[in-house]
A and B are shown apart, each in its own frame.
Chain A
Amino acid sequence: MSWETVIGLEVHVQLDTRSKLFSGSSTTFGAPPNSQAGVYDLAMPGTLPVLNEEALHMAVKFGLAVDAEIGRRSVFDRKNYFYPDLPKGYQVSQLQFPTVGRGSLQITLDDGSTRTIGITRAHIEEDAGKSLHEDFQGFSGIDLNRAGTALLEIVSEPELRSAREAVAYLKKLHSIIRYLGISDGNMAQGSMRCDANVSVRKLGASAFGTRTEIKNINSFRFVEKAILHEAQRQIDLIEDGGRVIQETRLYDADRDETRSMRSKEVANDYRYFPEPDLLPVVIDEAYIEAVRAELPELPDAKRARFVSQYGLSEYDAGVLASSRAMADFFEDVVRICGDAKLSANWVTGDLQALLNKGDLEIEQSPVSAQRLGALIGRIKDQTISSKIAKTVFEAMLGNEHSVDEIIESQGLKQVTDSGAIEKLVDEVIAANPDQVAQYRAGKDKVFAFFIGQAMKASRGKANPEQLNALLLSKLKG
């Protein structure tokens, strides 16, 4: 029997505001416990929230980037529950009137096809603190540094049909929020967190199966694994005559399985009601247009432009456009060297390999766009060959010497003087009479030997085309 998996994602994105959503406390990651919790974050009696306008701005930016309706009047609500890392005993969130309404985004699948995935809504809310269960001998420690940090919760429609689609959606979201500069999207540090609603149904069925929610999955890989595992668990259960129960489950990466959380968590009545300490947020057309004007070129548009403007393949364009920093780097290189194709090859090839090796982001590249552009420029004007360029590239690491200085000082300049090349060719022919005889007897393969010898003699610097032509004519002669 064939099964279809139905997935909807709830993604919490920590907005990169300097201060918290409703207080002036700093949001820097990794400070000593409770050093970034002010009187409001500690829920001291009498304290009141003041909305961080930057968070609102970022939410609207996101909404516009996914073609969403912007709530003209969004309302904050209190979501009530008791937990020690929730200092007020309620979380300020948005229930009925979120800042971002219906929108959509496009995902590209491995076979190059695209799908549009609906976004139900995205609402602004505050993060909770952290409970620390180690090191306190029978007690729990509470760290409220994170409490009150601005989150945007982005809820998708249940339109994803496989774990891979879910990952593609998540990566696309990641790419968009990074493009917009509203979050670093770092899943390991928790600045992007994913809950997955998963159900299965027989292929062709129109009704949804009973779903489970997998909480707090913290990497792209785990999202894929958790969904695969959960879908299979549900299929096995149903095929064995069982029934899926609606519940919240946790993904255990060490065991690669999901397991049930206490069912009590599901039965919570949050008693939402409008937060009386905050006024409704009214957003007018002028505000929306001002934010729209600030929007950067987004990944889809950039990829399309890279294809049409630079003649790149869809694949290369997609890779380069997946990150704004990568795309900017690429375009800087093109601007300097004037050759998009070579630039794309170098950025996605040698440079990417170098970054991968050092586990570096493009922003941390040991070779600047200026220097890489200069290097490619020297390939283009035939000062060096593509092969020598790799040597120069290696030589550029760990210093700030210019490309030309390196070529000069290491004597790597390509030999294009035909007299000098002819001399080389003559020497090689004179030194290898046996091979000359073999070639002339019809053994064409030996030609490569002569090229190799001549290149070696030139220390790789001979212009390959010139060398090729001269050798051919001399050997024939």
Chain B
Amino acid sequence: MTRRTVAELSRSLDRGEFSSLELTQDYLTRIRAHNAQYNAYITVTEELALAQATAADARRARGEHGPLTGIPLAHKDIFCMQDVLTTCGSKMLANFVAPYNATVVERFNAAGAVTLGKTNMDEFAMGSSNETSFFGPVRNPWDPERVPGGSSGGSAAAVAADLCAMATGTDTGGSIRQPAAFCGITGFKPSYGRISRWGMIAFASSLDQAGPICKSAEDAALMMNVMAGPDPRDSTCVETPAPDYMATLNDSLQGLRIGVPKQHLAKGLGAEVEAALQAALKVFESLGATVKEVELPNNHLSVSAYYVIAPAEASANLSRFDGVRYGYRCANPANLEDMYKRTRSEGFGSEVKRRIMVGTYALSAGYYDAYYIKAQQIRRLIKQDFDKAFQDVDVIIGPTTPHTAFKVGEKNDDPVTMYLEDIYTIGVNLAGLPGISIPAGSAVAPNGRSLPIGIQLVGNNFAEARVLNIAHQFQQHTDWHLQQPEV
């Protein structure tokens, strides 16, 4: 079965091959049939979707539409959506109906996209397997015994199983790119500050970034044209207007200088992933690119620095979940302190509590310099490594993850091993750079299932258009991104 990309669906809608309402009904039918198996959605907004589809058809009839008008999408349940349950994968917010729209939601609404629902995720985006969700683990459509990756696992599984045409995700340490790699789809984390964080529930504010999860680089460009751009409600969102990401997709790769980090090809990288990477590099060379080795000498420190900075910020960001104003509150609190303790003990899952404790510790008097300040220094070194590498190359290409998707429950007892699976993605967040994961091969699981392999393309600061262009050219000459699991 071949994938239906957003670009194709949009052309079909233009040609009147079917209406948005028909397309939406088709997706809703697929969700009804298959969501129970993958647990990709926490909430399905059927009524809203049908109303938006009808409105989109009317818009198209009036000729007031854009490419995404009438295209069904799913939002990661980290984005606040007015009058819709917004849980962030947590018991803490299992009853939380957001009173306002995230900027990302607002922009897709304005573009006329159709919202099918909210997708499952690791609790408060803390996880790499989608197993920390209060709403249960998500299953990988390529092999339901395996995880889809995380934290945007619901969005990735929904796109991979074609339970939506496109989805939003967020990426703090790899939460878009890693699930995209595990699910054989395209996931793009733009530069920090390119997309507004307003309405996106914060995990680690200096690292969080929204981005597209979809079936091709071209679809990512279509989504970026809606998502990216300045927003006065987010002070960390850059004021420079976003370019038209479609305009440069077909630029030639002739003379493109590719850097492959020596450190990414070292111990720990799975053989199948490395083989897929090497094959992909050959494709790029055939398109006129040159490949050289680059150094990211401090990359091995990235996971440690990340697991100080992200929990430190999270420990403050999650303080607001105190049972006072919204969300979960423990039953019959004896007094204020009892309410705080029990609300937070009962409302948060164990991974979230672990990170709050780590972060609180790292910021405590006497430890701040040794942990938080030291981690910030490492962060600067990592950024400098990338700056230096980009003096010689235009794009850095490596594996997205060391291995293909692991089994549900396989790494639950050893958080550090799980954290180390993000070794190639975390540095990109610490440096604030744009990174895309695209399918570039597959491996065969012992049960005979084929498991996708992703490679990561990292661009210089705000070089989103170039990254999308390079990914698109690869996809013009390969078909890994079009392969679809049997659902």
Contacts and interface: CB of A to CB of B under 8 A. Distances in A.
Contact of B201 (A45, A49, A82): A45
Interface residues of B, number: 43
Contact of B198 (A46, A87, A276): A46
A84 B337 CA distance: 10
B235 A48 contact: yes
Contact of B325 (A42, A51, A82, A278): A42
Interface in B40-89: 79-80, 86, 88
B336 interface: yes
B93 A45 contact: yes
A273 B368 contact: yes
A447 interface: no
B99 interface: yes
A143 B319 CA distance: 19
A84 B363 contact: no
A88 B320 contact: yes
A49 B236 CA distance: 10
Contacts of B325: 42-43, 87, 142
B197 A48 contact: yes
B336 A84 contact: yes
A84 B324 contact: yes
Interface string B86-101: 1010000100101110
A90 B198 contact: no
B365 interface: yes
A273 B205 CA distance: 12
Question: Does more than half of chain A's interface fall in helix, strand or loop, or is it mixed?
Answer: loop
A46 B372 contact: no
A80 to B, nearest CB: 6
A43 B233 contact: no
B235 A278 contact: yes
Question: Does more than half of chain B's interface fall in helix, strand or loop, or is it mixed?
Answer: loop
Bin the interface of chain A by size.
Answer: 20 to 34
Specify which of A39, A84, A273, A277 lies most central, judged by the most chain B CB atoms within 10 Å of its CB.
A273
Contacts of A51: 235
B199 interface: yes
A78 interface: yes
B235 A82 contact: no
B172 to A, nearest CB: 12
A262 interface: no
A82 B323 CA distance: 11
B142 to A, nearest CB: 32
Given A80-B319, A80-B363, A88-B320, A45 B96 contact: yes
A46 B80 contact: yes
Interface in B361-417: 363-365, 368, 372
A296 interface: no
B236 A277 contact: yes
Interface string B317-358: 001111011100000000010001000000000000000000
B431 interface: no
A90 B99 CA distance: 22
Contact of B236 (A45, A89, A273, A279): A279
Nearest to B90: A45
A387 interface: no
Given A48-B233, A90-B316, A269 B364 contact: yes
Contacts of A87: 320, 324-325
B20 interface: no
Contacts of B365: 269, 271
B269 interface: no
B322 A84 contact: yes
Contacts of B205: 276-277
B10 interface: no
B102 interface: yes
B335 to A, nearest CB: 10
B202 interface: yes
A273 B363 contact: yes
B464 interface: no
B219 interface: no
A67 B322 CA distance: 43
Contacts of B93: 45
B198 A88 contact: no
A47 interface: yes
Interface in B191-215: 197-202, 204-206
Contacts of B322: 82, 84, 89
A50 B202 contact: no
B198 A273 contact: no
Contact of B235 (A44, A84, A279): A279
B22 interface: no
Interface string B415-428: 00000000000000
Interface of B: 79-80, 86, 88, 93, 96, 98-100, 102, 197-202, 204-206, 232-236, 312-313, 315-316, 319-322, 324-326, 336, 340, 360, 363-365, 368, 372
10 contacts: A44-B100, A46-B200, A48-B233, A48-B234, A51-B235, A82-B340, A140-B336, A269-B364, A271-B363, A273-B313
Closest 3 pairs between A and B when the two form their complex, measured CB to CB: A89-B319, A271-B363, A276-B205
